[in-house]
């Protein structure tokens, strides 16, 4: 296999589009997620189109106990890892039921720490490769609309930053992706402003560019970097009254 | 969202749901009372439009490819462009292709599209080996010429009304190079143009561009274009398809029509003169030969926000000459000029709603403006009286009788519709306008 990349949450719209970019560049792929039969079809498709090797496999971010065995079953071990799974959840439900906020936190944060810790140790040993995590602009500042999700993403961004600091000298790159709005299954019932919204393909191109161009933190679409810069500058005493 | 097809007319408020997996398809059919599949919306009109739309372009995986025998199987949302990217480097080509590669496999089958080689090789459906159809009742049928052949035939050209095509296996044709030997012959009038189609019937690809602004003796003057694949030895060099590029995109939607009558007139004359001087042979690549407009994205916006119509009809061969004359004269008397006119000789057709029949087909692009609809109603009468018909994939306005008289096998189709979809779950604006489905919107 040539520089295989493991995609976790490979059925996500952004991940599927990224799969095409990576396969077109010649990477072999492990496509992992909760619907291995569909991922197997995706794998077959990518093999046919790009003459690479690809495999679909089962992975559940919430089943922490399985992560070690899962990762070690990959032969050859991945050169790169893309963490794409996530759960937006519903804020009002998160206010009412513990089960729901736990699921949001465990999917977007704890599950990530669990699998990334294992992967980081292996890549550190290998002395090369990359880890790419899809976080969110929602992690840059807490808003009433999705602060449980946002706080988990903030945790993920911080974790990735620390990991980058740790692995930099070991030849392993860590990339944090912060999408703004992307038109995917996650946002399908939302009315998104067209100018600020990326298609999954656009987001995937931005993410792929970040991988080749050795970037650390990327926003997609690009203007979100500046939008979030402004939003982060608003003093809390003003921000608390706002509805954005 | 506001939805329209390629010609931006009509435009309706609709909900599009992306199809990704087979399982979802079943759910969507169960959940929604009335819906219609839609591919890349490259038809001109309302055939793939409804309040609820099953959008297929994300359901586009390659399932298998036999590179020795040239057999390809894909999910229905795969675009011909993506298919070409995979098959050309392996030495295969599509047996039939429309004038744009931005259509889906499902859309190509559902409209039973034709190409420049129809007179020899038939329409797209003729090259489908089998297909998997999800019926509105939730059954998955694997149909072919041997199994459920009546359904198979009717699905090809069936405009998405009998079921959702999930996937299909098609037979490809071998390709030795990416080059086409092209021959362009100027014709001074309609007779000469039709004469060329007669004379070059054995040629693989033929089509003619007509300068519709000419009257009197020059009526129907145009350029006849003939193409043959270059064999490996004849190709100028042996490289395969040039890398696919995104194409220049029009930077914005012009607030009004960017194409104007005097502009079009000047363009037509110039195009004719330049090409008649350059007549003769040349070598070109597949993309420029088959998809000249695909390089310019969103060219449909040039017609402005009110959109345009394409009027495509076919006349039986015996009445084609007189019929075409008559139609061109009507157009002149209305003073509404088509911006583009393409003539082609077709061979026999297949399915009950499939468009082709032996004879000449003319496709005319008109910007929408006052008087157009009454001109087209007049043309309808001519077409109907001469035993011709209109292409459903290019229709946004015709009345019931055009379907019922133009497509003599409509009863056969309706019987199948009753059998497979008694509740008319699959219905489009077009199918209701034409009386195929009576249910409310
Ligand atoms: C520039 C240009 C050139 C063209 N040249 C030609 C030509 O040379 N010859 C020709 O024949 N046509 C031509 N066309 C028309 C075009 O090929 C057809 O309209 C084609 O059907 C469009 O495919 P689509 O995927 O965009 O489908 P849509 O336009 O979205 O849908 C077309 C029909 O197919 C049905 N459909 C789509 N997917 C499915 C599915 N999975 N299952 C069941 N039904 C489905 C829809 O319900 C609808 O009735 C041209 C169009 C353009 C824009
Ligand atoms: N879309 C946006 O606007 C946006 C904005 C900012 C950040 N993001 C982030 O981008 C990433 C990709 O999301 P998307 O927009 O492409 O949405 P998506 O299509 O809904 O993808 C989310 C994916 O996460 C998977 N997943 C959820 N829980 C899982 C679990 N326990 N184990 C394994 N996989 C699990 C889902 O798998 P199933 O297929 O099994 O459900 C799904 O494939 C997410 O991390 C998201 O937070 C998205």
For chain B, domains (ranges, CATH) are: 62-175 (3.30.465.10), 179-399 (3.30.70.2520)
pLDDT(B309) > 60: yes
Q: pLDDT tens, A204-221?
A: 999 999 999 999 999 999
pLDDT at position B439 is 66
CA of B87: which chain A residue's CA is closest? A49
Residue B254 pLDDT more than 50?
no
Q: Where are the alpha helices (DSSP H) in chain A?
A: 13-24, 36-50, 67-72, 91-96, 98-105, 111-126, 147-167, 200-212, 224-233, 236-239
| Ligand 1 nearest-atom number relative to CA B163 | 43
pTM value? Answer: 0.94
Is 70 exceeded by the pLDDT of residue B247?
no
Segment among B134-138, B159-163, B399-403, B435-439 with least mean pLDDT: B435-439
Given a contact cutoff of 8 angstroms between Cβ atoms, the answer to whether B224 and B255 are in contact is no
Architecture category of domain A5-239 in CATH: 3-Layer(aba) Sandwich (3.40)
Nearest CA in chain B to A51: B86
Q: List chain A domain ranges.
A: 5-239
Which of B19-23, B236-240, B297-301 has the least mean pLDDT?
B236-240
Share of chain B above pLDDT 70, in %: 92
Residue B95 pLDDT exceeds 60: yes
The CA-atom distances, in angstroms, between B356 and each of A109, A182, B291 are: 59, 42, 21
Chain A contact for B86, CB < 8 A?
A: yes
N- to C-terminal Cα distance for chain B?
A: 17
Note the pLDDT of residue B252. Answer: 44
Q: Tell which residue, B362, B84, B33, has the closest CA to residue B211.
A: B362
Q: Position of tokens 């161009």?
A: A213
Q: Are A218 and A212 in contact (CB under 8 A)?
A: no
Interface contact B210, partner A, CB < 8 A: no
Segment B94-99 shows an average pLDDT of 98
| d(CA B335, ligand 1 centre) in Å | 30
pLDDT of residue A189: 87
Query: Once rounded to an integer, what is the mean pLDDT over residues B300-328?
Result: 95
The ipTM estimated for the assembled molecules is 0.93
For residues A161-182, average pLDDT: 98
Nearest to B63 among A13, A44, A188 (CB): A44
Over chain B, what is the mean pLDDT?
92
Per-residue confidence (pLDDT) for residue B259, from 0 to 100: 64
Checking if the pLDDT of B240 tops 70, the result is: no
Q: Given A13, A45, A188, which is nearest B62 (Cβ)?
A: A45
Pair of tokens at residue A42: 């995706």
* Residues of chain A found within 8 Å of residue B85, distances taken between Cβ atoms: 49
pLDDT band at A62 (very low <50, low <70, confident <90, very high): very high
CB of B344 less than 8 A from some CB of A: no
What mean pLDDT comes out for the span B391-419?
97
Confidence of residue B279 (pLDDT cuts 50, 70, 90): low
Residue B123 has pLDDT above 70, yes or no: yes
pLDDT tens for B200-227 read: 999 999 999 999 888 889 989 999 999 9
Confidence (pLDDT) at B250: 42
Protein residue closest via CA to atom 9 of ligand 1: B98
pLDDT band at B441 (very low <50, low <70, confident <90, very high): low
């Amino acid at each position: 296999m040539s520089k295989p990349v493991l995609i976790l949450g490979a059925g996500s719209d952004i991940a599927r589009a990224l799969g095409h970019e990576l396969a077109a560049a010649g990477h072999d792929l492990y496509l992992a997620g909760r619907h291995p039969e569909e991922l197997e079809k995706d794998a077959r498709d990518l093999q046919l189109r790009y003459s690479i090797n690809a495999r679909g496999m089962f992975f559940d971010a919430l089943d922490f106990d399985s992560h070690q065995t899962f990762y070690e079953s990959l032969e050859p071990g991945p050169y790169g890892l893309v963490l794409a799974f996530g759960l937006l959840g519903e804020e009002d439900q998160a206010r009412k039921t513990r089960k729901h906020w736990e699921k949001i936190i465990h999917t977007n944060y704890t599950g990530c720490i669990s699998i990334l810790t294992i992967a980081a140790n292996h890549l550190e040993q290998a002395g090369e490769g990359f880890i790419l995590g899809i976080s969110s602009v929602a992690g840059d500042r807490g808003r009433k609309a999705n602060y449980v999700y946002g706080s988990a993403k903030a945790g993920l961004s911080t974790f990735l930053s620390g990991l980058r600091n740790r692995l930099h000298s070991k030849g392993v790159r860590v990339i944090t992706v912060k999408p703004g709005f992307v038109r995917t299954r996650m946002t399908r019932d939302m009315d998104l402003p067209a100018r600020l919204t990326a298609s999954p393909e656009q987001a995937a191109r931005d993410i792929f560019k970040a991988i080749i161009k050795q970037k650390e933190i990327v926003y997609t679409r690009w203007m979100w970097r500046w939008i979030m810069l402004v939003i982060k500058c608003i003093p809390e005493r003003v921000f608390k009254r706002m509805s954005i | 969202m506001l939805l329209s097809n390629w010609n931006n007319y009509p435009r309706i408020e609709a909900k599009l749901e992306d199809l990704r997996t087979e399982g979802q398809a079943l759910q969507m059919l169960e959940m929604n009372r009335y819906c219609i599949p839609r591919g890349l919306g490259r038809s001109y009109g309302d055939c793939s439009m409804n309040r609820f739309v099953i959008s297929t372009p994300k359901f586009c995986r390659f399932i298998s490819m036999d590179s020795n025998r040239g057999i390809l199987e894909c999910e229905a949302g795969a675009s011909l462009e993506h298919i070409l990217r995979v098959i050309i480097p392996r030495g295969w080509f599509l047996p039939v292709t429309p004038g744009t590669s931005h259509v889906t496999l499902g859309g190509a089958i559902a409209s039973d599209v034709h190409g420049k080689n129809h007179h020899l090789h038939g329409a797209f459906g003729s090259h489908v080996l089998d297909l998997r159809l999800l019926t509105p009742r939730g059954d998955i049928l694997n149909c072919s010429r041997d199994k459920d052949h009546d359904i198979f035939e009717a699905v090809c050209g069936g405009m998405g009304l009998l079921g959702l095509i999930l996937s299909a296996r098609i037979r490809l044709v071998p390709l030795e190079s990416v080059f086409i030997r092209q021959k362009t012959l100027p014709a001074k009038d309609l007779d000469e143009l039709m004469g060329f189609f007669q004379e070059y019937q054995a040629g693989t690809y033929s089509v003619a561009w007509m300068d519709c602004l000419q009257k009197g003796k020059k009526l129907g003057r145009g350029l006849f274009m003939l193409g043959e694949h270059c064999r490996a030895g004849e190709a100028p060099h042996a490289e395969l398809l040039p890398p696919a590029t995104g194409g220049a995109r029009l930077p914005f939607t012009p607030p009004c029509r960017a194409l104007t009558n005097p502009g079009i007139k000047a363009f037509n004359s110039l195009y004719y003169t330049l090409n008649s001087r350059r007549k003769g042979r040349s070598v070109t690549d597949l993309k420029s030969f088959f998809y000249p407009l695909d390089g310019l994205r969103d060219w449909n916006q040039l017609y402005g926000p009110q959109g345009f119509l394409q009027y495509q009809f076919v006349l039986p061969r015996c009445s084609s000459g007189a019929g075409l004359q008559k139609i061109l004269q009507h157009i002149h008397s209305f003073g509404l000029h088509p911006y583009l006119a393409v003539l082609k000789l077709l061979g026999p057709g297949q399915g009950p709603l499939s468009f082709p029949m032996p004879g000449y087909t003319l496709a005319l692009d008109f910007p929408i403006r006052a008087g157009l609809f009454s001109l087209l109603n007049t043309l309808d009468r001519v077409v109907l009286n001469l035993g011709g018909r209109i292409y459903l994939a290019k229709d946004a306005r015709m009345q019931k009788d055009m379907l019922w008289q133009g497509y003599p096998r409509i009863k056969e189709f309706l019987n199948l519709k009753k059998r497979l979809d008694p509740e008319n779950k699959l219905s489009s604006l077009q199918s209701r306008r034409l009386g195929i489905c009576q249910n409310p919107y």
